[in-house]
Amino acid sequence: MCGIIGLVQAADCEARGALPILAADGLTALQHRGTESAGLVGSGGVDRHAFDIVKGHGLVREIFTHEAISRLDDAVIVMGHNRYSTAGKKRPTINCVQPFVVYTAIGTIAIAHNGELVGAESKRNEALHQGVGLSTDTDSELIAQMVAKAVALNYKCRVNGDQWGDISKELAVTMSAFKTSYSLLVMTYDRLYAIRDPWGNRPLCVGTIYSSREPRNGTSQYALGYVAASESCALPPSARIDMEVKPGEIVEISRRGIRSVYQMKPHNPSAFCIFEYVYFARGDTILEGQQVQSVREETGRILAREAPIDADIVSNVPDSSTAAAIGYAEQSGIPYEPSLHRNSYVGRSFIQPNTELRQSAILRKFGVLKNNVRDRRIVLVDDSIVRGNTMGIIVKMLWDAGAKEVHLRIASPPLKYPCFMGINIPSSKELIAANKTLEEMEEMLGVTSLRYLSVDGLKEAVSKRLHSEPGFEPGHCTACLTGNYPVKLDF
């Protein structure tokens, strides 16, 4: 689960220095998708060998200072990445920080990847035995080197300079050989490509940046540039979503506009990660034509019907479960009142790389609103329980504040199986629901009762307002909930 963004300045726009600022703002909006490191790469659109690069470990605001991003002021194409490590080292060197930049027979290219490749190890070994050198153990560098190899093989087919930046054929050949999971941005000196795997496992949208949000005084809007991003929340305020990239589609974005250049055979139905709705995506993001916030409210309403309880207040674990708690309160008729205050300056605990950091983040992140808790029977709604070692801390804080009862309601089904497609759940051993009964979990977490949303309930919430493209049957990956993986796993 990483965040990616790319921006291309329109041919008629000459606003110097705007793109790196918009890219940094977009990565800030995608900070919830990765906090380990971030990078930006820019091209001036003329020299096919010269890219400017800014990378670092930490949060976006710590890396992209005004002085740092001023190095990209002349860029007409900028691509960025937030890293949440799955494949690759947990404490990565700067070599692991994306975007990856590689030097090819036709010029420099850069790659930003969200996801995790199934069967990457066999592809990596194949590449190494073919003489391809790899400096990291990440899937993303493997993709970059495979694209570079395809470019070299097709080098003699290029007859003039106008073709140097067009690598659509090489991308189609390379990415067709990989299964899933990837949403990918690939940048040459004069264009950007947005690509989703044929299962559509990770999100990716493309839009146009306009001169203003709305035309005024009879003036018409005109395009300032074009943008591709993991989530629509990363688009600038004056941008409009033109499309969500289809499963298997390759979209080219140049200074002249946006066009679809290739369609790999999509898998029907698709296998979009259902946990994007549960936890990963920001509430104001649009996925599959619907707002994430609305889906989360619906999960709360369905959960209230599936697991009712008599209580005094409905509360939530801020922030990603707020919408589900509101939906639960609305359906149950029990008033919603917050019981926890969230420190906005502490990041998401789930994406911390180890248990100690996750537990420490919980203690720093939350404070209890004692007047709302004391002598109250509380329905505490959360979006999910992964390992369970942080929820116990939260529940104890409520008991210590004088709660009479704590009924835990989870707005997603139990996580019982590992994810191999971009989420850091490599084994069922660390998943509480895979190793304990409901009664054992209640005792371990210290709650009066515990209930989960059903798999059918989650699917119902997601499908209620779902928009589907003609010819594409929408489907969702529920592997971490059901053990039914969309592709065969090679172990």
Contact, 100 vs 110, CB < 8 A?
yes
Instruction: Confirm or deny that 321 is annotated as ligand binding.
Output: no
Contact, 77 vs 28, CB < 8 A?
no
Angle, vertex CA 75, rays to CA 69 and CA 79, nearest 5: 75
Contact, 382 vs 321, CB < 8 A?
yes
Contact, 309 vs 282, CB < 8 A?
no
Amino acid, res. 345: Y
Centroid of chain to Cα 437: 31
Instruction: Confirm or deny that 480 is annotated as ligand binding.
Output: yes
Pairing of strands 107-114, 340-342: unpaired
Q: Which two tokens stand for residue 171?
A: 């991308």
Residues that are catalytic? 2
CA atoms within 13 A on the CB side of 383: 22
3-class SS of residue 290: strand
Instruction: Confirm or deny that 273 is annotated as ligand binding.
Output: yes
Pairing of strands 100-104, 107-114: antiparallel
Q: Which two tokens stand for residue 88?
A: 């690759």
Instruction: Confirm or deny that 419 is annotated as ligand binding.
Output: yes
Helix or strand holding residue 7 (H, E): strand 3-9
Cis peptide before 319 (omega within 30 of 0): yes
3-class SS of residue 71: helix
Nearest to 213 by CA among 232, 243, 236, 233: 236
The CA distance from 385 to 148, in Å, is 41
Centroid of chain to Cα 278: 12
How much is the CA Rg of the chain, to the nearest whole Å? 23
Q: Which two tokens stand for residue 245?
A: 């990239």
Q: Which residues are annotated as a binding site for Mg(2+)?
A: 320, 382-383
Per the annotation, binding residues for [4Fe-4S] cluster are: 273, 419, 477, 480
As annotated, the binding site includes 273, 320, 382-383, 419, 477, 480
